[in-house]
């Protein structure tokens, strides 16, 4: 489960909660209504929300150094606190076993051999995965919005020759 307090998630640490003046339930319903109006089916909406949740949980993973026999380096995902909750949530959200996710983040393949990595390298792998997922979700959302605007809810054959679009600029980490 995601925390209702944005400061509890590493990727949202700089966010300030709007407090009791914002009706989260009403805004959520408005968001879902907007997605429906843009012809984003409920299955895609669910996948979108799961992907966003996974990105937030990925940011909460913490890595610790581990002794690995036959290697100078090694790391593992912290199993307590926010990191422990995040690794438990990520498996179902991403559709992978948590052991496989940890292996993917905490090791690399060099000439067909698995090599452990230090915690900083594991954190870099985690950040790259989160950024890649967010980037692909952002691009997909723009395609869906622009596709819905281009068709105006009509078939392509009936749409107006003039095409409308929305362009968004998202600078990851820029505040």
Cβ atoms of 91 and 50 within 8 Å: the answer is no
Cβ atoms of 168 and 142 within 8 Å: the answer is yes
In the prediction, which pLDDT does 175 show? 43
In the prediction, which pLDDT does 92 show? 92
| For helices 42-59 and 119-151, angle between their N-to-C axes, nearest 10 degrees | 150
List of residues 6+ apart from 100 with CB closer than 8 A: none
CA 105 to chain centre: 15
In the prediction, which pLDDT does 153 show? 53
3-class secondary structure, 74: coil
DSSP 152: T
In the prediction, which pLDDT does 6 show? 74
In the prediction, which pLDDT does 171 show? 61
Rounded to an integer, what distance in angstroms lies between the CA atom of residue 78 and that of residue 87? 9
DSSP strand E in 1-147: where? Answer: 63-65, 75-77, 107-110, 113-116
Mean pLDDT in each 10-residue stretch from start to end of the chain (175 residues)?
76 71 86 89 93 92 84 84 91 92 87 84 92 92 82 52 58 54
């Amino acid at each position: 489960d995601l925390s209702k307090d944005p400061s509890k998630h590493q990727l949202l640490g700089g966010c300030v909660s709007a407090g009791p003046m914002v009706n989260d339930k009403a805004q959520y319903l408005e968001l879902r209504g907007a997605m429906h109006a843009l012809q984003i089916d409920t299955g895609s909406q669910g996948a979108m929300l799961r992907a966003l949740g996974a990105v937030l949980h990925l940011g909460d993973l913490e890595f610790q150094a581990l002794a690995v026999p036959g290697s100078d380096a090694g790391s593992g995902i912290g199993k307590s606190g926010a990191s422990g909750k995040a690794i438990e949530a990520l498996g179902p959200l991403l559709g992978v076993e948590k052991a496989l996710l940890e292996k993917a983040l905490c090791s690399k393949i060099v000439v067909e051999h698995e090599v452990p990595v230090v915690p900083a390298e594991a954190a870099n792998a985690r950040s790259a995965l989160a950024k890649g997922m967010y980037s692909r979700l952002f691009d997909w959302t723009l395609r869906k919005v622009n596709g819905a605007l281009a068709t105006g809810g009509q078939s392509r054959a009936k749409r107006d020759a003039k095409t409308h679009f929305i362009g968004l600029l998202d600078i990851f980490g820029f505040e």
